Chains A and B, each alone.
Chain A
Amino acid sequence: MSEKLLVLDDIRMNFGAIAALKGISFSIGKGEVVALLGDNGAGKSTLVKIISGGLRPTSGQMVFEGADYQAKTPAEAKAAGIETVYQDLSLCTNVDVVGNFFMGREITRKVAGIPFLDERAMEEITTKALTSAGTRIPSMRTKVEHLSGGQRQAIELNRFAHWGGKLLLLDEPFAALGVEQTRRGLDMIRHVANQGIGVVIITHIMQQAFQVADRIVVIRHGVVAGDVDRAKTSPDAVIEMITGQALTGAGPVGKE
């Protein structure tokens, strides 16, 4: 794809004696959707957390929009324009839907210099965002603890759509979603990418990857085991990269 948005260069991550990532290098272009595939424990979530400021890599460089990038906290990553939907959901179940949708970015109105929550404005936007995504939630004022897994995931997934940003990281965002909600989610990813936002989506469902991605990157045992254009590969080829019997011509295979 055209311009590089994020370039990962030789990212390594050790947890004590465990080497979770052993030198990951690939890049994401503006408006490009990259599907990140790999078996359980391959290191996908670890990589996402490194990009989104949750973990600091043991070594390696990142370049975001042409400049050196290293987020020390999720807040810094957000400020840079990187939005993340985590595999283990990040909602406060003791707070209602609206509160969660606007977590950390509440709309306020100042009265005598003191910021007060503008509940009505926030509720309106949340309702609009969730309705257009086809999620049915009885009331925007329900506490999240009373919602189903799919409804919770929908809140997370739609949060970023409202906030935009430049790069979107999705760690198995559809795991709890129904058929229709997943279809809308995939549409939304395309829509977001068409606006020039880069997307990394982690999934175990091959069909989803082929449906939405421009490029497919496979991680196995902490190294990039394949990095191919979707148009130039097939589900069977990708499965073989994931399981370790790389076919010739399937793309560059990790060193090691």
Chain B
Amino acid sequence: MTPHTRKSLEFLLDNLVWFMLIVVLALFSALIPNYFQIGIFTNIIEASSVLGVMSIGLALVIITGHMDLSVESVAALSAMAVGILFCSAGIGLGIKLSPEWLMIPASLLVACAIGGLIGLFNGFLVVKLKMSAFIITLASFIWVRGIVLAVSGGRSAQDLDPAIRWFAIERFAGIPLSAWIAIGCFLIFSIMMAKTPFGRHLIMIGGNETAAYRAGIRVTRNLIIAFVMAGAIAGLAGWLLAVRTSGATANLGVGLLFNAFAAVVIGGVSLKGGVGALPGVYAGVLLLSSINTAINLMGLPANYTQVIHGFLVLAAVLLDTFKQRLRQRLA
């Protein structure tokens, strides 16, 4: 193999998800009537905001070589907290702050703080006490959802205060502000991962933890920060969820974890750690969202969506394995 073909093959592997996204969009546009419209594309972007934000946090932790299964439940708890505090119907307390805009930072703070605290709990157990991230965060996935059920009593909060709801309604360039928040998060965290020492260190820890430790990188501290970030970002995803649905229900966001997982892996983040970048994850999120939109347009029953998602997760993991093999051969 010449260095040139190797280079192009690697480029293809690194950006596979973008090619897939283009191909899928082209196929759907050609085959499904009414798919090719600007409205559909803004729809795809809009529908992917919650999943997108959640995937960022999950990707951060997977890149460091760990796992966070709790992001979905964390988002649900944050959404429920925002719902209970700032909704006026159902179990909402309808708290008002003046001036009104204060409710925006207050609700954001509540959502992210709840997420960050659960992230800290996960991170501490995984990193300091060296317990398995899979088990610890699986436990959190379960008990955090349990808290959501317990505090809501299975009921829901409706009618989120308009001051907060504003983000889902107001549009800029045809796209609601809530989707811009997701895009902004991708930008900020992509830059953090690619351009700052902290991001570089997370990638190095994912690649070879011992080497990073020997080089004087504060592995424990950085890993715990990554877990806290994943939690806080999941909290933000929960906030968006509450904003988009104007409230919170006890089973809000169920199934998001597997979509996020699929998006992250399809987006080129390797489960073995150290490989992957956030722009690819965004492409993965958009890809999933395009497929969902296609399913809706074709009028398939919603139950099939779950089957398709299941196979997508499977396909994503297969793809990851396949890419790892191919890379080994290239090396």
Contact = CB atoms under 8 A, between A and B. Distances in A.
A117 B196 contact: yes
A103 B212 contact: yes
Interface stretch (B148-156, B160-168, B173-181, B202-210): B202-210
A116 B214 contact: no
B318 interface: no
Contact of A74 (B201, B213, B330): B213
Given A106-B197, A115-B197, A117-B196, A91 B214 contact: no
Contact of B204 (A86, A92, A145, A146): A92
- Interface residue range, chain A: 20 to 34
A58 interface: no
A105 interface: yes
B207 A116 contact: no
Contacts of B197: 106, 108, 115, 117
Nearest to B199: A117
Interface in A76-109: 78-79, 84, 86, 89-95, 99, 103-106, 108
A99 B207 CA distance: 12
A54 interface: yes
B196 A116 contact: yes
B200 interface: yes
Given A94-B206, A94-B207, A75 B218 contact: yes
A114 interface: yes
Interface residues of B, number: 25
B266 to A, nearest CB: 19
B275 A90 contact: no
B274 interface: yes
B331 A91 contact: no
B216 interface: yes
Nearest to A145: B331
B contacts with A: majority SS: helix
A79 B215 CA distance: 11
Nearest to A147: B331
A78 B218 CA distance: 13
Contacts of B201: 104
Contacts of A105: 215-216
Nearest to B218: A75
Contact of A99 (B3, B200, B216): B200
B211 interface: yes
Contacts of A84: 214
Contacts of B218: 75
B310 to A, nearest CB: 30
A86 B208 CA distance: 14
B214 A54 contact: yes
Interface in B224-282: 274-275
A104 B212 contact: yes
Contacts of B213: 73-74
A91 B207 CA distance: 9
Contact of A146 (B196, B214, B215, B331): B331
A52 to B, nearest CB: 8
B196 A115 contact: yes
A74 B216 contact: yes
Contacts of B3: 138
B4 interface: no
Contact of A95 (B207, B210, B330): B207
Contact of B214 (A74, A93, A117): A74
Given A84-B214, A92-B203, 10 more contacts: A75-B218, A90-B208, A90-B211, A91-B208, A92-B211, A92-B274, A93-B208, A95-B204, A104-B212, A117-B200
Interface of A: 52, 54, 73-75, 78-79, 84, 86, 89-95, 99, 103-106, 108, 114-117, 138, 145-146
9 contacts: A73-B216, A75-B217, A94-B206, A94-B208, A94-B274, A95-B207, A99-B200, A104-B212, A115-B196
